[in-house]
Homo-oligomer: A and B are copies of this chain.
Amino acid sequence: MSDATAQVRKRLTEIGGRTAQDLGLGRIVGQILVHLYLTPNEESLEDIAKELELSKAAISIAARQLESLGLLRRSWKSGDRKTYYRTADDIATALHQGLLIMVRNKMSLLATELQAAESELNTADVGAEEEFILGRVKRAKKLRDTAMAVLENPLVKLLTRMK
């Protein structure tokens, strides 16, 4: 592998790290994923640790997290006690679905809270301030509903169809 190529890979790996961190998944997770995505053959924990200059322990934890997200696959070789990792074959769809699920989870949590708030406000004795807050909560609910609708319809259909 040429020197320039190695540098390109390193750079993309860093970007993966930053992105993953933005999503709250931790830097290492993103680094591993991109690194393996740009690697033809599978690699052991130690391989990855050496390439990314991180401890084997850190790799172990992050790799398992990636596996549970369906983004990495484990494999073994006969007469070799190491575990090897490679990116999942359907990594693109897995990523998209994962992101959608994350967003949807946050959204539905918000939905529940807003609904609960509205109910409680309705049972309380309704003064002027309650009236105001209730109005605001209702506006927020409406906002969330349309956002949700947008998210559900065209996005899912377009994105999950990709290969």
Q: Which residues of A contact B (CB under 8 A)?
A: 1-2, 4-5, 7-9, 11-12, 15, 19, 22, 24, 37-38, 40, 92, 96, 106, 110, 113-114, 117, 120-121, 123-125, 127, 129-130, 132-133, 136-137, 139-140, 143, 146-147, 150, 153-155, 158-159, 162
- Do B154 and A150 touch across chains, with their CB atoms under 8 A apart? yes
- Do A40 and B129 touch across chains, with their CB atoms under 8 A apart? yes
Cβ contact of A127, chosen from B2, B150, B159, cutoff 8 A: B2
Chain B residues with Cβ below 8 Å from A129 are 1, 5, 40
Separation of A154 and B146 alpha carbons in the complex (Å): 12
Separation of A8 and B129 alpha carbons in the complex (Å): 12
Contact A15-B133, Cβ < 8 Å, known A1-B127, A162-B143: no
Nearest to A128 among chain B residues (CB) is: B40
Q: A12-B113, A96-B147 known; 20 other A-B pairs, CB under 8 Å?
A: A2-B124, A4-B123, A5-B120, A5-B121, A5-B129, A5-B130, A8-B121, A11-B117, A12-B137, A15-B113, A22-B24, A22-B106, A38-B133, A40-B132, A92-B139, A92-B143, A146-B162, A150-B154, A150-B158, A154-B154
Nearest to A131 among chain B residues (CB) is: B40
Chain B residues with Cβ below 8 Å from A12 are 113-114, 117, 137
Chain B residues with Cβ below 8 Å from A154 are 150, 153-154
- Do B139 and A150 touch across chains, with their CB atoms under 8 A apart? no
Of the candidates A38, A120, A140, A146, the one having the most CB atoms from chain B within 10 angstroms of its own CB is A38
